[in-house]
């Protein structure tokens, strides 16, 4: 390594990052064009992502937003192609960088090398991302197209299974080509597909359940946890009720949040300390007729332990805890996964 090669490779790295950034900008601008918020773009070593809190509603808007990333790369490749063709020995250079012929009889200058790299890498980014595998753009486009004839469930199963198969194939290819980056990227595709498959499976299981299946009714004379209680007092209240989560009240008997037994066990060292820092001072409230899946989604979005279910006149009906929902979803696979967390 010398400084000349260090600066050359760091310029290359910067260039590759800019291609990923242009890809993500393609998604983000297309989303804005379709009236969907695109909040931020995050770049990480193996790629990037444009964060969109919601998806476009119409089918063709959705396809357009997902296709816009690869299209931005194709546009860049076409520009590099055009400029390269205008260079001396342009046709030879294009053929070389597209690997149509393996040997090059001319020596490319720096500009030609950069143009060739821009051409090859952007085509790779475009067509690599168009593979019909979740979570790649191609998989998302395919899912959007399949959703109308087959529904959310079947289309998700198809693209995630394709993601697992294509991901394993790419990992195998990367292993044989001695390309660790391809193996890691392929592993990421498999992992994301397995997670999305599981996610779909959980949503299906929950869709068949109601709030009543996980509702915990307040018991008579139930000991409430108050913000001025100590850790020891709170642990005693957990033992008395046997509940995994308890509501926390302020001095005016208004609920302010929840406290989880597992959190106290793991984090509380001093039993005489106040329980307040271990409480989550936020909770979701829901009506008794709400859809369980919708309530769970609100709990997950708010990142809290549970929801308080109240009736039309504000009277307390009971609680729904994520702990209980997890038990409802429990399978041997999930239990195994939790051991890894």
| Contacts to Zn ion by CB under 5 A | 69, 129, 137
Closest separation between CB of residue 167 and Zn ion, Å?
A: 16
Shortest separation between residue 7's beta carbon and Zn ion, angstroms: 30
Give which of 298, 283, 300 is closest to 246, Cα–Cα.
283
Min dist CB 137 to Zn ion, Å, is 4
CB of 100 to Zn ion, least distance (A): 26
Where b means 16+ CB within 10 Å and e means fewer, 319-341 reads bbbbbbbeeeeeeeeeeeeeeee
> What's the closest the beta carbon of residue 147 comes to Zn ion, in angstroms?
19
Position with the least CB separation from Zn ion: 69
Output 31 or 293, the one with its CB closest to Zn ion. 31
Q: Least separation, in Å, of the C-beta of 44 and Zn ion?
A: 14
Which residue lies nearer to Zn ion by CB, 27 or 87? 27
Neighbour tally for 191: CB within 10 Å? 14
Any residues with CB less than 8 A from the CB of 224 and at least 6 apart, and which? 237, 246, 247, 248, 249, 253
Enter the tokens of residue 293: 């899946």
Count CA atoms within 13 Å of residue 303 on its CB side. 0
Give the torsion through C-alpha atoms of 286, 291, 294, 300, to 10 deg.
60
State which residue, 118 or 129, has the beta carbon closest to Zn ion. 129
Q: What is the three-class DSSP state of 189?
A: helix
Nearer to Zn ion, 21 or 79 (CB): 21
Name residues whose C-beta falls within 8 Å of residue 243's C-beta, 6 or more positions apart in sequence.
216, 261, 321
In the complex with Zn ion, which residue's Cβ is closer, 68 or 246?
68
Closer by beta carbon to Zn ion, 24 or else 260: 24
């Amino acid at each position: 390594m010398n400084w000349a090669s260090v600066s050359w490779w760091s310029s290359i790295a910067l260039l590759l990052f800019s291609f990923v950034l242009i890809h993500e900008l393609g998604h983000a601008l297309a989303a804005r064009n379709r009236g969907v918020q695109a909040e931020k773009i995050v770049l990480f070593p193996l790629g990037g992502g444009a964060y969109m809190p919601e998806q476009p509603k119409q089918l063709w808007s959705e396809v357009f937003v997902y296709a816009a990333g690869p299209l931005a790369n194709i546009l860049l490749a076409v520009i590099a192609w055009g400029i390269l063709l205008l260079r001396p020995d342009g046709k030879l250079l294009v053929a070389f960088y597209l690997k149509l012929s393996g040997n090059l009889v001319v020596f490319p200058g720096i500009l030609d090398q950069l143009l060739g790299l821009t051409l090859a890498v952007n085509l790779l980014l475009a067509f690599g991302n168009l593979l019909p595998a979740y979570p790649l753009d191609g998989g998302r486009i395919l899912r959007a197209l399949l959703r109308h004839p087959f529904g959310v469930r079947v289309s998700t199963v198809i693209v995630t299974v394709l993601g697992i198969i294509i991901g394993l194939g790419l990992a195998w290819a990367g292993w044989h080509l001695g390309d660790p980056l391809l193996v890691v990227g392929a592993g990421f595709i498999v992992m994301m597909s397995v997670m999305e498959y599981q996610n779909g499976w959980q949503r299906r299981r929950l869709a068949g359940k109601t709030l009543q299946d996980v509702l915990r009714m307040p018991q008579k004379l139930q000991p409430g946890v108050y913000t001025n209680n100590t850790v020891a007092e709170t642990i005693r209240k957990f033992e008395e009720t046997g509940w995994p989560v308890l509501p926390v009240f302020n001095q005016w008997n208004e609920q302010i949040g929840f406290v989880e037994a597992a959190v106290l066990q793991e984090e509380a060292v001093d039993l005489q300390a106040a329980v307040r820092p271990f409480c989550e001072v936020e909770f979701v409230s829901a009506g008794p007729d709400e859809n369980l899946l919708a309530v769970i989604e609100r709990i997950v979005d708010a990142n809290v332990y549970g929801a308080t279910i109240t009736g039309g006149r504000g009277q307390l009906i009971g609680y729904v805890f994520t702990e209980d929902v997890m038990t409802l979803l429990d399978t041997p696979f999930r239990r195994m996964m939790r051991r890894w967390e």
